[in-house]
Amino acid sequence: MKHIMLLALAGFLVASRAWGAQASYSFQVKVVGHGKPVILIPGLTCTGDVWDGTVAQLSDHYQCHVLTLPGFGKQPPISGPYLSHVRDDILAYVRDRKLDHPAVIGHSLGGFMVYYLAEADPGLWGPMVAVDGLPFLTLVFMPTATADSSKPIAEGLAKQMLSASPDQFKARIRSSLVSQITDPKNVEAMYAFSKDSDQNDVSEAMKEMLVTDLRPDLGRIRSRFLLIGAGQQATNESARAALTKTYRSEIQGLPNAQLQMDWKARHFIMLDDPATFYSTVKEFLAKG
């Protein structure tokens, strides 16, 4: 009887540890489909619903792990440093689930997270796709920026965001989406998912991303890597050449990197030009 009780207790402890690991993730995960694992990470304020069309395209051949990050949509927020917390939770999730070299697709802040993850444990991943996500976003707006010089601007923007009323904060979310998505129907759909995001987490995530330069460690990355850039705002050949140069300079230290510009799409490429996006991603993932 004592032996049986010890076995039962051991089983309970194992189950408790497994449950605790699952419960400790700061993000929500929805798993859809069968096949090779693919992790999909949305951008600032967005929920995993932004990937619905992509999941519909991939789930016949891939097991899609669709994340909603803490504080985005109605996902509970976290406190303290944001990006490193999320990165470490995703690493833990992949190791706990024993996912075999999952591919990762991230948009915007999720694209930034793709570089962050690939640098943290280079041997853990399969192919990586950053959808209009860069290793040092601030360079797009300030070509001479450094992590240090970006701090006053990032802190000022975060302070403004935190001081906004709830209605003002929601208005800023809508305004941002209007500038980043072409079709008003998609703007409204994304706004419905994003409007309840937590001001503290959104401002902290934005601030940290603006002052974090991942370029020095890009050489650590072993995975094949695709950066898809949004180029609709570049309306002539000169502007397109300049934008391409900016994107290419961001990943010049990244081995096995490929850049593809989408001149039809704004920031939400998967919503603005879905057919091109799906075919590009499928072709890239199919190479293993």
Q: Determine the Cα–Cα distance for residues 58 and 129; give it in Å rounded to an integer.
A: 14
- Quote the pLDDT of residue 156: 96
Q: Is residue 225 part of a domain?
A: yes
Instruction: Return the structure tokens found at 178.
Output: 């209007």
Q: Determine the Cα–Cα distance for residues 1 and 101; give it in Å rounded to an integer.
A: 44
Instruction: Return the structure tokens found at 126.
Output: 């399969």
Helix (H) or strand (E) holding 264: none
DSSP string, 43-80: -TT--GGGGHHHHHHHTTTEEEEEEE-TTSTTSPP--S
Whole-model pTM: value is: 0.91
φ/ψ of residue 5, rounded to 5: -65, -40
- Quote the pLDDT of residue 256: 86
Q: Is the CB of residue 183 less than 8 Å from the CB of residue 268?
A: no
Q: Is the CB of residue 10 less than 8 Å from the CB of residue 30?
A: no
Q: Determine the Cα–Cα distance for residues 176 and 231; give it in Å rounded to an integer.
A: 17
DSSP string, 89-116: HHHHHHHHTT-SS-EEEEETHHHHHHHH
Q: Is residue 4 part of a domain?
A: no
Residues 204-208, mean pLDDT to the nearest whole number: 97
- Residue 57's region, left for phi above 0, alpha for psi from -120 to 50, else beta, is alpha
| pLDDT digit string, tens, across residues 59-96 | 999 999 999 999 999 999 998 899 999 999 999 999 99
Q: Determine the Cα–Cα distance for residues 248 and 10; give it in Å rounded to an integer.
A: 54
Q: Is residue 10 part of a domain?
A: no
Domain total in the chain = 1
Could you tell me whether strands 103-107 and 128-131 are parallel, antiparallel, or unpaired per DSSP bridges? parallel
pLDDT band for 1, please (50, 70, 90 cuts): very low
Q: What is the residue-averaged pLDDT of the chain?
A: 92
Q: Which residue has the tokens 């303290």?
A: 80
| pLDDT digit string, tens, across residues 43-61 | 999 999 999 999 999 999 9
- Quote the pLDDT of residue 80: 87
Residues 8-14, mean pLDDT to the nearest whole number: 32
More confident residue, 12 or 171: 171
- Reduce the DSSP state of residue 135 to 3 states and report it: coil
More confident residue, 20 or 69: 69
**In 3-state terms, the chain is what percent helix, strand and coil (to 5)?**
55, 15, 30
Domain with residue 107: its CATH number is 3.40.50.1820
- Quote the pLDDT of residue 187: 98
Instruction: Return the structure tokens found at 25.
Output: 């993730």
Q: Determine the Cα–Cα distance for residues 97 and 94; give it in Å rounded to an integer.
A: 5
Q: Is residue 18 part of a domain?
A: no
- Reduce the DSSP state of residue 30 to 3 states and report it: strand
- Quote the pLDDT of residue 288: 79
| pLDDT digit string, tens, across residues 151-179 | 999 999 999 999 999 999 999 999 999 99
Residues 252-268, mean pLDDT to the nearest whole number: 96
pLDDT band for 4, please (50, 70, 90 cuts): very low
Residues 9-35, mean pLDDT to the nearest whole number: 62
| pLDDT digit string, tens, across residues 231-252 | 999 999 999 999 999 999 999 9
Q: Is residue 16 part of a domain?
A: no
Q: Is residue 193 part of a domain?
A: yes
**Parent domain of 197:** 26-286
pLDDT band for 18, please (50, 70, 90 cuts): very low
Residue 17 pLDDT > 80 = no
